[in-house]
Amino acid sequence: MTGTLLSFGHGYSARALARRLIPVGWRVIGTTRSPERAAQLEAQGAEARIWPGSDLSRDIAGATHILVSAGPDAEGDPVLRRLAPEIGARGSSLAWLGYLSTTGVYGDHQGGWVGESTPLAPSTRRGRWRMEAEAAWQALAAETGLPLHIFRLAGIYGPGRGPFEKVRQGTARRIIKPGQVFSRIHVEDIAQVLEASIARPNPGAAYNLCDDDPAPPEDVIAHAAELLGLPVPPAIPFDEAEMTPMARSFYAESKRVRNDRIKKELGVDLLYPDYRSGLAALLAEET
């Protein structure tokens, strides 16, 4: 199956999906804010659009699939704010529409497990914005028949995004907050889940995207150091750590995220089911 994917906010995860689709004949149109990034997208085989600033009417009308990665702000979802009528007009004529959200919409569960049916109760500003954006997309889908799929992503890592560089530079920190666990996901597993959903649409579905091994962040840093053969960074108690407000907000929530649905419904077999296999693969790619 091939088609035309219109990707809003064509960033890290969307580019990983494009690397799977373009070689098999897909047309991928990606939006970006900067001419420099547009040139990079073109070099990667996508058609770039500077947006906001370009008229996307023809692209929306010609797309078979739409992916929304652009993040919301205090004013809501930027795609809906500018293009809701045009996208809504496509309705069920679209084959698939995906919205990339975050597991932050579940809020803090003090290390407990959450699944797609867990009530949304974000405790951070960014989590609330995502919850509101999900609801806005769901309302438009209910009104117009758009085939909406929501993907709630855990912490993303992959090539160029991992702990190795900080460990090498000596800037990595093992911040210890008892009971703190995070779920995470390799970018290639995000891409394969999106590709599987495109192949098996289920409008209205929400999926958690994470690996099988929620873990304390200090364990990931320690393992990265061990893989590099470098000293494990010293432990710093959370209460004593100097952190930016955004960094501190990540520690405001602790939960373990279930991923059963992507396996049972989409048939996904994770490439990197835990951070150990994911980090080992990243290091192997460097050599």
| Cβ proximity of 20 and 67 under 8 Å | no
User: In this structure, is residue 201 part of a structural domain?
Assistant: yes
User: In this structure, is residue 221 part of a structural domain?
Assistant: no
Q: How far apart are alpha carbons 214 and 212 in whole angstroms?
A: 7
Domain that holds residue 63: 4-157+185-211+257-271
Q: How far apart are alpha carbons 69 and 79 in whole angstroms?
A: 10
Positive or negative, the CA dihedral 161, 104, 245, 247 is negative
User: In this structure, is residue 174 part of a structural domain?
Assistant: no
Residues 6+ apart with CB under 8 A from 250: 182
Residues 6+ apart with CB under 8 A from 38: 32, 48, 49, 50
Query: How much is the pLDDT for 286?
Result: 86
User: In this structure, is residue 164 part of a structural domain?
Assistant: no
Mean pLDDT for back-to-back runs of 10 residues, the chain (287 residues)? 96 98 98 95 97 95 97 95 97 98 96 97 94 98 98 95 91 93 97 98 98 96 96 93 84 95 98 98 90
| Residue 120 C-beta-side C-alpha neighbours within 13 Å | 19
The total number of structural domains that make up the chain: 1
Query: How much is the pLDDT for 212?
Result: 98
Query: How much is the pLDDT for 9?
Result: 96
Residues 6+ apart with CB under 8 A from 260: 115
Cα–Cα distance list, 7 to 15, 80, 117, 155, 181 (Å): 9, 14, 27, 21, 32
User: In this structure, is residue 251 part of a structural domain?
Assistant: no
Query: How much is the pLDDT for 30?
Result: 98
The type of residue at 284 is A
CATH of residue 146: 3.40.50.720
User: In this structure, is residue 91 part of a structural domain?
Assistant: yes
User: In this structure, is residue 216 part of a structural domain?
Assistant: no
User: In this structure, is residue 282 part of a structural domain?
Assistant: no
Query: How much is the pLDDT for 243?
Result: 86
